[in-house]
Amino acid sequence: MSLRPIPDTHKHRRSDIGRRLRSTPKATALTDGNYDVGCSGSWLSYKPRAIDVGDEHLQELYEYMKLVPSTYNVRFKNKVRRIQCTLMKPSDVDYDFSGQGNLTIHSNPARRSQNASLPPALVHKKWPHLVDLVLEDWIKYCAQLGCTRTIPNAVHANLYEDGDAWIDAHADNEPSIDQTVPIGGYSFYMNQVGRKRPRSLQIYPVPEKVYRAKPNDHDGFNVELEHCSRYGMHGNFQSTCTHELMKNQRSDTKRGTRVSLTVRAFLPRMPMT
Ligand SMILES: O=C(O)CCC(=O)C(=O)O
């Protein structure tokens, strides 16, 4: 299966869900555009060099992430090397997902100081500048697409210190997220190793992936995520596909350090009745 660009129309071919496939393909480098990923009503957008960033802002982001404590993961018995947190604008929402601990860091300092699990160093620290940049970029892009029901208002950050850090197949389909607004992912590499050989994102139709026995059991899409690039998961992506980053265990490139910033639109919490 190859990734096919979708020019302007956002038309999709019928679902491939249920098709038995063979293996994870070699990672593909994409150019600016929209791509049919073979899941019904879902597409991926990709833009290389979406964000112009200086070394000082990369350093600021990395240092911030190094202050974030690791969170418990039930499924993998805490063996998940990735560090994650959610930088959240709405002050009434905490982002929780099943089977994992997560740290929500609110934009409002007063709200932050109420969070007993937040390390003191992060209570008074401003969000990294890059977080504001990607939020602004994604808000603008969503407005161009006409996805304005909820303004993107939170950034989930992941630090993959090296190729041993990964994120398992999942969909960001929690009811607290407005699914009419696409989720955008930005990639930043802290060293040349990562920039030369970027990590890649694997995308699979839901039933194929969730029930596969081994990592390479089934075919899917494997797309390179270059330094300062942006990808978007659109349409029914979170209900028809899973996405993940497998480990990179190549001895020459596994030392690449990546931080991803994924932008989401959280809904206000419904009042209890
Ligand atoms: O690192 C990435 O680009 C993927 C992040 C992701 O899937 C998530 O945070 O849910």
CA 13 – ligand 1 centroid, Å: 25
Per-residue confidence (pLDDT) for residue 220, from 0 to 100:
76
156 close to ligand 1 (CB < 6 Angstrom)? yes
Q: Find, among 229, 210, 235, the residue nearest to 220 by Cα.
A: 210
Name the stretches of the chain with pLDDT < 70: 1-24, 98-99, 207-219, 271-273
243 close to ligand 1 (CB < 6 Angstrom)? yes
Q: Percent helix, strand, coil in the chain (nearest 5)?
A: 20, 25, 55
Contact 203, 253 (CB under 8 A): no
172 close to ligand 1 (CB < 6 Angstrom)? yes
262 close to ligand 1 (CB < 6 Angstrom)? yes
For residue 172, give the ligand 1 atom closest to its CA: 10
Sign of torsion over alpha carbons 185, 44, 49, 24: positive
* Sequence-ordered alpha helix ranges (H) in the chain: 55-66, 109-113, 120-123, 129-145, 192-196, 206-210, 237-240
260 close to ligand 1 (CB < 6 Angstrom)? yes
Burial 230-241 (b: 16+ CB within 10 A, else e): bbbbbbbbbebb
Beta-strand ranges (E) seen in the chain are 4-6, 33-36, 42-47, 83-88, 104-106, 154-160, 167-170, 183-189, 200-205, 221-224, 230-235, 241-245, 258-264
**Cβ-based burial of 201 (10 A; exposed 0-12, middle 13-18, buried ≥19):** buried
258 close to ligand 1 (CB < 6 Angstrom)? no
Domain residue extents for the chain: 24-264
Token pair 């555009």 is found at 33
Per-residue confidence (pLDDT) for residue 8, from 0 to 100:
43
Per-residue confidence (pLDDT) for residue 271, from 0 to 100:
66
**pLDDT for 12-70, tens place per residue?**
333 333 333 345 678 899 999 999 987 789 999 999 999 999 999 999 999 999 999 98
CA 244 – ligand 1 centroid, Å: 7
Contact 198, 120 (CB under 8 A): no
Contact 24, 219 (CB under 8 A): yes
Which residue's CA is minimally distant from atom 1 of ligand 1? 260
- Could you count the other beta carbons within 10 Å of the beta carbon of residue 139? 19
Token pair 């401003």 is found at 126
**pLDDT for 144-155, tens place per residue?**
999 999 999 999
Distance CA 223, CA 221 (A): 6
24-264 sits in which CATH class?
A: mainly beta
Q: Find, among 187, 221, 247, 253, the residue nearest to 43 by Cα.
A: 221
Per-residue confidence (pLDDT) for residue 117, from 0 to 100:
86
Q: Which of 172, 200, 204, 262 to mutate to test the pocket of ligand 1 (most atoms within 8 A of CB)?
A: 262
Which residue's CA is minimally distant from atom 2 of ligand 1? 260
Per-residue confidence (pLDDT) for residue 169, from 0 to 100:
85
185 close to ligand 1 (CB < 6 Angstrom)? yes
pTM of the model: 0.88
Contact 242, 71 (CB under 8 A): no
